[in-house]
Structure 1
């Protein structure tokens, strides 16, 4: 489980096709001695398992930005089909979050790292260092999104401001724009969407009561 509070922005170093899999290698600011094989790390909201890691060394032309380690994960066929992972390329910046540990502060909302589908950024409006984003959700998931409710977009826990049909609006403050990949987001971008688990259960209870 995760909280939707991004703890680092990694750099995608390489994408290697291995049959139906893609091996992704990233640089990050996580100390190498704090990583472990089999650990779960969310990449733009997608829970992935570490299959390799090590201390950072200048490589692949990437320098600076305080990177101290590299790690590798595999994106399976299902992940490539239902998330944006199939579009990622070397040089992309990726939101990262390590799995929630017992005793950690839950500052966002409970996020599983199991992306429901891909949403689309329709419009961005910047003002006073902040930005409004209008997002279009896949029709089958729009019913789970409610005003003042929570949603995870590219792994970021965000509050829904307004809802109109399949579209909803979020507001990002300067801090979030600075410490995540959202600062570079623009109209037309594809975004990983995970709806709030509580909203999903509530909708199912309503459906069950009507049966």
Structure 2
């Protein structure tokens, strides 16, 4: 479990082909590796990866073909910068929101507008994720816990302060940059909960306006 508060920006040093999978080597930047052990989890641009080898300033993790398919790892290469966060401790501050490290889809940066004290960024999410993105709700972008400030269809807008731009890879975004998205886990649970008894009879949640009306959620 993570909080979306980035600890450091790392650099991909190598992506070694293991057949269907790749072994990723990440230089950890300023992140303290002294309390990282084999088997620990590190969110790498929002993707929960398991440490299989480590040194004083790097770690290695295996990335499956499934993960490559559904995340931005398909676009990464040696030298790419990545946001890093170690799994949260039960006695640490909860500064962001609940982040699982399970990416729901890949979005793309649509526009970047600089203002006096912040930068306005619009991101286009996959259409199937639009229903989970709410005004003033939480979303994880490349592992960063952020607040949605406006929504238009499947696009949403973020206001980014100088600290976030400086301490994460978001400062390097350009129009067209692919980003890992994880929607708020509470929205996922609510969708499933609203199915009620029908959840046991369906392989996937199918919440529609007619479903809401039939089950008393709409008048």
Give TM-score, length-normalised by structure 1. 0.90
Map 1:132-211 to 2 at 5 A. Answer: 132-208=120-196, 210=214
**Structure 2 spans left out of the alignment, 5+ residues:** 197-211
Q: Which of 1 and 2 has greater Rg?
A: 2
Offset of 1:26 from its aligned partner? Answer: 1.1
Alignment partner, residue 204 of structure 2: none
Map 1:1-12 to 2 at 5 A. Answer: 1-12=1-12
Offset of 1:14 from its aligned partner? Answer: 0.8
Number of equivalent positions: 198
Alignment partner, residue 14 of structure 1: 14
- Which string of whole-angstrom CA distances, capped at 9 and with x for unpartnered residues, describes residues 45-99 of structure 1? 00000010112xxxxxxxxxxxxx1110111011001001121111111000000
Match of 2:116 among 107, 123, 128: 128
Alignment partner, residue 64 of structure 1: none
- Which string of whole-angstrom CA distances, capped at 9 and with x for unpartnered residues, describes residues 163-189 of structure 1? 111111011100000000011101101
The alignment partner of 2:90 has SS state of coil
Q: Is the 8 A contact 1:144 1:203 kept in 2?
A: no
The alignment partner of 2:148 has SS state of strand
Alignment partner, residue 79 of structure 1: 67
Aligned CA RMSD, in angstroms, stands at 1.3
The alignment partner of 1:4 has SS state of coil
Cα distance in 1 between the residues matched to 2:162 and 2:195: 39
Alignment partner, residue 41 of structure 2: 40
Alignment partner, residue 112 of structure 1: 100
Q: Is the 8 A contact 1:152 1:194 kept in 2?
A: yes
Cα distance in 1 between the residues matched to 2:121 and 2:27: 28
Give TM-score, length-normalised by structure 2. 0.87
Offset of 1:199 from its aligned partner? Answer: 1.6
Offset of 1:206 from its aligned partner? Answer: 3.9
- Where relative contact order (Cα < 8 A, 6+ residues apart) is larger, the structure is 1
Whose strand fraction is larger, Structure 1's or Structure 2's?
1
Offset of 1:207 from its aligned partner? Answer: 4.7
After superposition, the Cα gap between the structure-2 partners of 1:129 and 1:184, relative to the gap in structure 1 and judged at 3 Å, is farther
After superposition, the Cα gap between the structure-2 partners of 1:207 and 1:132, relative to the gap in structure 1 and judged at 3 Å, is farther
